[in-house]
Amino acid sequence: MACKRDTTDPANAGVPVPDTKAAVETAAATPREMIICDQKNARIIMVDVANGNAITWEWKATASYAMIRTGAQGWFSNLSDAKLVYNGAYILATASGGGVALISVSSKKAIWYDYAGGNTHSAELLPNGNVVTASTTGGYLLIFTVDSYINDESAQGGKVLFEDVHNVVWDNTRKVLYAAGKNQLKVFTYNNSCATPRLTLKSTYTMPQGNAHDLFPVHGSTTDLWLTNSSYIYKFNVTTGAFTLAKTLSAVKSVSSGPTGYPTILARATGAGGETWRTDQIIDINGALVYKNTALGLYKARWRLVNTFSYPAGDSFHECTHP
């Protein structure tokens, strides 16, 4: 008869003793993925840093699955941001080439895409399914009426001029949009209209230093946003309007935090990856290496986590459609 290990605790008859090896293996197998813009290879990737840094997913505008017409594929050069939206089922992506796309994670199809132009740096979902983009060149925000039957001919709201604007973040609790450029952070209300979408300036905050770059919710917080500029990382409190210095660090292109066990990760330009604004590594806020791949040219990185600051629980795809 084969020997069988006793897995009960003698002090608590019948209560299983945890199998430490099995528990470690299970923990190691739990994915911990980052969504990264790999500009050097013209793609968005997901990297599982808990399982050997495996690339688990990629998206290219030129691939047949993306369903982007040939003449529009160039809009997605130098991918600039990729946000997880609609309860993790889609990615909202932008590129310096001017493109913006809403991509199904499962099929990799761009179910909607269009051209914003002006070095598009960021985009955000609005509550009725429309999308607002931020373009640094020319300095403007632009609203698109999203209709999955219409690509690159979407109805647009009027441009909102904002010098060097680099980002947009929706606040689902307060129903306002934040955007930052130069030394200003502005707050806008949205009229929630499909036919005539419009942003209205509500308030303006002056940052301690200029050249705003990344703006993204602090994971798990209902009041704080990460904000980076040329030399600093701040937390901005949306209720008090206070900017609190979190780290003195230059050239940080993105910040993303998570729950316990997830380090706060940074994409910081090092010049690796073919351009001065790129890097080949992701570090944590204390400078420790989280991921490195010299074959890549990285720009921004986000944890693959649902953003509860910007979107309602269980949010699913919806759109503004017209007869």
Q: CA 154 to CA 4: how far, in whole Å?
A: 66
Contact 210, 182 (CB under 8 A): yes
> Could you tell me which residues are beta bridge partners of residue 298?
38, 279
* pLDDT value for 12: 40
pLDDT number for residue 2:
38
For residue 320, what pLDDT is reported? 82
Rounded to whole angstroms, what are the CA distances from 65 to 59, 108, 132, 272? 9, 6, 25, 30
Domains and CATH numbers, the chain: 33-303 (2.130.10.10)
pLDDT at 28: 55
pLDDT of residue 322: 52
Q: Please, which residues have CB within 8 angstroms of residue 24's CB and are 6 or more apart in sequence?
A: none
Give the residues of the chain that fall short of pLDDT 50.
Answer: 1-26, 323
Please report where in the chains the tokens 């979107």 appear, as a residue.
311
Question: What pLDDT is attached to residue 27?
Answer: 52
Residue pLDDT, tens place only, 258-297: 999 999 999 999 999 999 999 999 999 999 999 999 999 9
